[in-house]
């Protein structure tokens, strides 16, 4: 499918030089090759055994044949890696070293240092500690060979044997381990020192695998049109275009739902008492006002058809960090007011998001801030704004790894006393039931921001805690304490209001500037968009942008999103690191499948109505209805039986894994039919694929297209041949069934469940 132009080069830094001089590539210089070179571990000459020895204090590690063929457990050792092309500032935390023993147990060795190997400017020495840092299996039980690999930017090196305490054991006989000594590499005996590109003249973004991978990360799924757009204008221009897109898309405006009484039985301000038997009018009233139905319907319509894909995707990620839930939030109008805060700040500044969300009435209700007063403080919001929305529980380095105390224990960012102090600040706000744009008698105003001391007219009824507060105290912390409101401060309600509002801003500044916020927010957003277990270097690069967008501004989300999506670890046609990628959450599984194939209504013509939440709900993700403030899945979820971060795997059980297959079965072989609440229904549009299957009875073309679209061209030969056999078991005069067969098998495969 590709026309390849292989450029043989010895080392990628030469390739970089070539890029500059090649006239063919000048037109695309704003879109450099997204593919990083593949790291190569250096072996001992003629054996598949890692060249390694105990680390030297001098750090002058040369490529000498070591005296011993093994490293000592617990000690520092050194390995050599070739074929790197380091960016400025890229250091030891960009690399991860994994080892496995003959039982298949996995270990991770901490990387301590990175330095050029003396006398070999092409090669780097990596110092690592021969000590598992995951702690899942502790250390290898027995001495003998391990198999090690190194990963960098989502790419895996070759694997080599490493003697752990001694050499020998079953792994020595493992097939596929090959010598990769320096002379092998220099004489091109080791593959991987070449790169490919499409020989297409003209401008544009040529890396088709990477284009589709990018769209998987930045949207609710690639489409043919989006792919063509990026091919023409490149990633950066597309991002700039998306930053300016009107939102919501003009065709899918936010549902305009009025506030209703909190008592749905209310005859004038609610839906009235339920008639027996119930009427359509009543059912629709409840559905549209006292249910998340209109929000979900709108959300999926924008995801499936909207143009403002990036903002919608980022707002969805933020909605899974700043969680409120229809489990408690009664009305769709309240949820829409909350979503507007997310979407309006998605390309804005995180500090504004913090403030707007703190005063959002839905959040205020969900986490009880509206009920927190001087005399009856409530810790719910203060605790969660710190733990879940901004700093997290433990002090972090900029690269997202835990800081440790002298006893190697993580350092809590705050304790109960801290929570008590922050709680005082958040006392006294309430709904704006009079005097705001949406205030109306008999209604709770869930649309306008909370206001301070709402309805309080007597000084003695002030609801704000006026005592002093102790906040975070980190180097350079603004407002680490807030003085008590005394003297003239507490003389009038208006002076108290000034104090409280100033205190709130001071406190939010104190939180926002905490050094944890950059890595905490960056890592969580990376997990939502790109990969579940990003390298510390990746987190650090993004957090660096969060801390300063280059113009001295902290918290610029536009810059953060660009940094996440354009990072070397995110980009490239394919990733080989075994720990790269993420399980598609049910929402992404559904929208990606629908957009890959094409989605329409259940009738002969027309679009889907977006009433598809029932499908993701069955898989554990009912949108805007997370079970708790901890979202549908926790960011630190570890896959059972491994030590690998996999947040979305909290939704992957025996039950839902079959549910995912049954979802595909429903959509491929059936549809979501038209019903009272689904006026148009939803079905997949197989027209194009059916034509492909009819035109090429070998089904190769069908598989090519599905491979390119759904797997961004990473389908393995095994997978392709298995599906091809199943497809061709169906008579060639039934091209529709052939197309469905192929789509079902790709859609249900674990290979497609994972965004990689």
What is the smallest separation between the CB atom of 572 and another protein, expressed in angstroms? 10
Q: Can you tell me which of 80, 195, 238, 389 binds another protein, judged by CB under 8 A?
A: 195
Site string for another protein, 442-481 (x = CB under 8 A): ----------------------------------------
Cα–Cα distance measured from residue 219 to residue 242, given in angstroms and rounded to the nearest whole number: 10
C-beta separation of 160 from 171 below 8 A = no
| Cα distances (angstroms) measured from residue 585 to each of 309, 322, 651 | 17, 17, 8
Site string for another protein, 36-55 (x = CB under 8 A): --x-----------------
Asked if 687 touches another protein (CB under 8 A), the answer is no
**Binding residues for another protein restricted to 702-721, rule: CB under 8 A:** 716-719
If 0-12 CB within 10 Å is exposed, 13-18 middle and 19+ buried, where does residue 183 land?
Answer: exposed
What is the smallest separation between the CB atom of 284 and another protein, expressed in angstroms? 26
Cα–Cα distance measured from residue 649 to residue 582, given in angstroms and rounded to the nearest whole number: 9
* The pair of three-digit structure tokens given for residue 665, joined into one six-digit string: 């079965």
Q: Can you tell me which of 27, 56, 191, 274 binds another protein, judged by CB under 8 A?
A: 191
Cα–Cα distance measured from residue 144 to residue 297, given in angstroms and rounded to the nearest whole number: 58
* Residue 563 DSSP SS3: helix
**Binding residues for another protein restricted to 349-368, rule: CB under 8 A:** 368
**Binding residues for another protein restricted to 286-325, rule: CB under 8 A:** none
Q: Are strands 4-8 and 194-198 parallel, antiparallel or unpaired?
A: antiparallel
Asked if 640 touches another protein (CB under 8 A), the answer is yes
- Residue 163 host element (H or E): strand 160-164
Asked if 177 touches another protein (CB under 8 A), the answer is yes
**Binding residues for another protein restricted to 648-667, rule: CB under 8 A:** 649-658, 661-662, 665
Asked if 404 touches another protein (CB under 8 A), the answer is no
User: Which of 527, 557, 571, 582 lies closest to 400, judged by CA?
Assistant: 527
Asked if 196 touches another protein (CB under 8 A), the answer is yes
Q: Can you tell me which of 192, 221, 270, 294 binds another protein, judged by CB under 8 A?
A: 192
Q: Can you tell me which of 112, 419, 477, 497 binds another protein, judged by CB under 8 A?
A: 419
CB closer to another protein out of 547 and 707: 707
CB closer to another protein out of 4 and 17: 4
CB closer to another protein out of 394 and 474: 394
**Binding residues for another protein restricted to 558-577, rule: CB under 8 A:** 573-574, 576
CB closer to another protein out of 130 and 304: 130
Cα–Cα distance measured from residue 500 to residue 503, given in angstroms and rounded to the nearest whole number: 5
Cα–Cα distance measured from residue 313 to residue 134, given in angstroms and rounded to the nearest whole number: 32
Asked if 518 touches another protein (CB under 8 A), the answer is no
C-beta separation of 481 from 470 below 8 A = yes
Asked if 158 touches another protein (CB under 8 A), the answer is yes
CB closer to another protein out of 130 and 730: 730
Q: Can you tell me which of 58, 256, 416, 457 binds another protein, judged by CB under 8 A?
A: 416
* The pair of three-digit structure tokens given for residue 756, joined into one six-digit string: 């990689």
Q: Can you tell me which of 256, 641, 676, 733 binds another protein, judged by CB under 8 A?
A: 641
Which residue bears the tokens 């987190």? 539
Asked if 578 touches another protein (CB under 8 A), the answer is yes
What is the smallest separation between the CB atom of 749 and another protein, expressed in angstroms? 5
Cα–Cα distance measured from residue 103 to residue 147, given in angstroms and rounded to the nearest whole number: 11
Does the N-terminal peptide bond of residue 277 adopt cis geometry, omega within 30 degrees of 0? yes
* The pair of three-digit structure tokens given for residue 449, joined into one six-digit string: 């921001």
């Amino acid at each position: 499918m590709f026309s390849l132009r292989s450029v043989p080069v010895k080392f990628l830094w030469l390739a970089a030089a070539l890029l500059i001089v090649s006239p063919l590539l000048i037109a695309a210089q704003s879109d450099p090759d997204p593919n990083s070179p593949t790291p190569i571990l250096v072996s001992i000459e003629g054996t598949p055994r890692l060249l390694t020895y105990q680390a030297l204090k001098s750090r002058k590690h040369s490529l000498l044949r070591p005296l011993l063929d093994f490293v000592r457990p617990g000690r520092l050792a050194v390995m050599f890696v070739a074929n790197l092309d380091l960016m400025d500032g890229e250091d030891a935390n960009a690399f991860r070293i994994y080892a496995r023993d003959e039982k298949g147990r996995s270990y991770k060795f901490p990387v301590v240092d990175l330095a050029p190997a003396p006398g070999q400017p092409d090669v780097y020495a990596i110092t690592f500690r021969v000590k598992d840092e995951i702690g899942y299996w502790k250390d290898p039980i027995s001495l003998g060979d391990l198999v090690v690999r190194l990963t960098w930017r989502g790419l895996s090196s070759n694997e080599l044997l490493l003697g752990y305490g001694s050499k020998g054991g079953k792994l020595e006989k493992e097939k596929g381990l090959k010598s990769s000594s320096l002379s092998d590499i220099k004489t091109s005996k080791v593959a991987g020192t070449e790169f490919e590109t499409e020989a297409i003249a003209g401008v544009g973004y040529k890396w088709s695998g990477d284009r589709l991978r990018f769209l998987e990360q930045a949207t609710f799924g690639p489409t043919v049109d989006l792919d063509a757009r990026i091919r023409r204008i490149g990633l950066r221009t597309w991002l700039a275009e998306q930053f300016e897109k009107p939102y919501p898309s003009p065709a899918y405006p936010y549902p305009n739902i009025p506030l209703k009484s909190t008592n749905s039985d209310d005859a004038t301000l609610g839906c009235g008492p339920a008639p027996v038997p119930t009427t359509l009018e009543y059912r629709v009233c409840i559905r549209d006002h006292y249910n998340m139905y209109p929000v979900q319907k709108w959300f999926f319509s924008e995801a499936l058809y909207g143009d403002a894909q990036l903002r919608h995707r980022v707002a969805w990620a933020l909605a899974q960090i700043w969680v409120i839930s229809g489990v408690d939030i009664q009305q769709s109008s309240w949820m829409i007011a909350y979503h507007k805060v997310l979407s309006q700040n998605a390309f804005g500044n995180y500090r504004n998001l913090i403030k707007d969300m703190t005063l959002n009435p839905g959040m205020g209700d969900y986490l009880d801030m509206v009920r927190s007063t001087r005399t009856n403080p409530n810790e719910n919001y203060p605790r969660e704004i710190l733990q879940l929305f901004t700093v997290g529980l433990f002090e972090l380095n900029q690269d997202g790894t835990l800081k440790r105390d002298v006893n190697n224990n993580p350092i809590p960012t705050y304790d109960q006393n801290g929570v008590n102090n922050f709680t005082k600040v958040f006392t006294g706000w309430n709904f704006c039931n009079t005097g705001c744009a949406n205030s109306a008698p008999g209604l709770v105003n869930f649309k306008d921001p909370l206001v301070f001391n709402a309805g309080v007219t007597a000084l003695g009824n002030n609801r704000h805690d006026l005592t002093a507060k102790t906040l975070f105290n980190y180097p350079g912390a603004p407002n680490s304490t807030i003085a008590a409101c005394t003297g003239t401060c507490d003389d009038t309600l208006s002076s108290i209001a000034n104090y409280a509002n100033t205190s709130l801003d001071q406190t939010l500044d104190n939180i926002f500037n905490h050094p944890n916020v950059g890595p905490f927010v960056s890592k969580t957003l990376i997990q939502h968009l790109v990969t579940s277990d990003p390298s510390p270097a990746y987190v650090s690069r993004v957090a660096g942008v969060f801390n300063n967008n280059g113009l001295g501004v902290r918290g610029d989300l536009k810059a953060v999103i660009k940094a996440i999506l354009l990072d070397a670890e995110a980009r490239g046609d394919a990733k080989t690191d075994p720990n790269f990628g993420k399980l598609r959450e049910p929402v992404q599984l559904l929208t990606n499948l629908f957009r890959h194939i094409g989605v329409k209504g259940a009738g002969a013509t027309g679009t889907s109505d977006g009433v598809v939440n029932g499908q993701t709900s069955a898989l554990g993700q009912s949108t805007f209805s997370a079970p708790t403030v901890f979202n549908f899945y926790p960011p630190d979820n570890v896959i059972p039986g491994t030590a690998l971060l996999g947040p979305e795997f909290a939704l992957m059980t025996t039950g839902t894994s079959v549910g995912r297959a049954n979802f595909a079965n429903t959509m491929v072989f059936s549809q979501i039919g038209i019903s009272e609440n689904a006026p148009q229904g939803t079905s997949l549009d197989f027209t194009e694929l059916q034509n492909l299957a009819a035109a090429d009875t070998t089904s190769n073309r069908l598989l090519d297209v599905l491979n390119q679209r759904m797997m961004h061209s990473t389908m393995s030969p095994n997978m392709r041949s298995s599906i091809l056999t199943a497809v061709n078991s169906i008579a060639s005069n039934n091209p529709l069934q052939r197309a469905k067969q192929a789509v079902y098998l790709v859609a249900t495969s674990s290979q497609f469940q994972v965004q990689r």
